[in-house]
Amino acid sequence: MPEIKEISLGSLRLDCRITGNKGDELLILLHGFPETSYMWRTLMADLAPKGFYCVAPNMRGYSKNACPKGKKQYTIEKLSQDVLDLANAFGKTRFHLIAHDWGAVIGWYLAYHNPSNILSYTALSVPHLKGFFEALKTDADQQERSKYIKMLVIPFVAEYTIRKDDFKLFRKYWKHSSEEELQDYLTIFRVKKVLTAALNYYRANFGKTRTEDIGYIKVPTLFIWGNKDMAIGAKGVALGHEYIKGPYTFLELDAGHWLIQTVYDKIKPTIVKHLAAHKTIPENI
């Protein structure tokens, strides 16, 4: 299983789960909300023997020594720069990227703005941001699915609602997690500043043109979506396909939002195949 190390990025220190050989290609895995890097443990253990040095950070706001105050500290520019800085901390400028939920939001931004750094990109659940936001503006189904965001951006109200009855609301989302994973999440989110920081991802970025206005993706991309996802409807997914112009694989599953926890055996072979196709040292996979 991965070891946990604190990696310094200037004034921030990210708690990172790490496994594999340092000489192998770097693979960064970004968690979503409300989760931590714990979600990637099994995938990291499976991919490291195939020639990948796997690094999964508890991202800005989720690490105890990388939790700056104020929503301006959580703009998409800062969140994406953290990923580039993390790669640099390991002496790499190019890396593979796997990301879920909010991690995928960051991933799409990086794939568009920093394509020379991305060897391959795998997005789970969240489609190309342009497609998603177009659906949010025009599609009644997506508007209904995204109503929860209106609560999350309200200071104090969101924090109170989520903490009520020892995270009863979040526990509904975590029902597919193991007891060990659940306890990891609770340990992180019970820290008051962490919950506010995680919510600042929404407060700093939601509805901002810099988040929405990304163009064609040309890096090799794999997108995996569950057609029973409670937050992401079919319209945004369909529109998102139009903005991907590089090598592209789309996997639709009869599943919900929590793909790693519920359909791992179905997504793992596709991820392995995608990484193999775009590995610079293919003999190890």
What pLDDT sits at residue 209? 63
What pLDDT sits at residue 212? 74
The mean pLDDT value for 168-180 works out to: 95
**More confident position, 192 or 97:** 97
The mean pLDDT value for 246-271 works out to: 98
Distance, in Å, from the CA atom of 105 to the CA atom of 201, rounded to the nearest integer, reads 10
Distance, in Å, from the CA atom of 51 to the CA atom of 220, rounded to the nearest integer, reads 18
Q: What pTM was computed for the model?
A: 0.96
Whether the pLDDT of residue 85 is over 90: the answer is yes
Mean pLDDT of the chain: 95
What pLDDT sits at residue 129? 95
Of the CATH numbers 3.40.50.300, 3.30.980.20, 1.10.10.10, 3.40.50.1820, which one belongs to the domain with range 3-284? Answer: 3.40.50.1820
pLDDT in tens, 181-232: 999 999 999 998 999 999 999 999 987 766 778 999 999 999 999 999 999 9
Whether the pLDDT of residue 285 is over 50: the answer is no
Whether the pLDDT of residue 132 is over 60: the answer is yes
Strands (E), 42-152: 52-57, 95-100, 118-124
**Order of all β-strands in the sheet with 95-100:** 3-9, 12-19, 52-57, 25-30, 95-100, 118-124, 221-226, 248-253
39 touches 81 (CB < 8 A): no
Distance, in Å, from the CA atom of 30 to the CA atom of 104, rounded to the nearest integer, reads 7
Distance, in Å, from the CA atom of 214 to the CA atom of 11, rounded to the nearest integer, reads 29
- Residue 10, Ramachandran bin (φ over 0: left; ψ between -120 and 50: alpha; else beta): left
Any idea where the domains of the chain sit in the sequence?
3-284
What pLDDT sits at residue 282? 56
Distance, in Å, from the CA atom of 172 to the CA atom of 247, rounded to the nearest integer, reads 36
Q: Is 104 helix (H, G, I), strand (E, B) or coil?
A: helix
The mean pLDDT value for 277-285 works out to: 71
What pLDDT sits at residue 281? 75
CA dihedral 198, 199, 203, 209 (to 10 degrees): 50
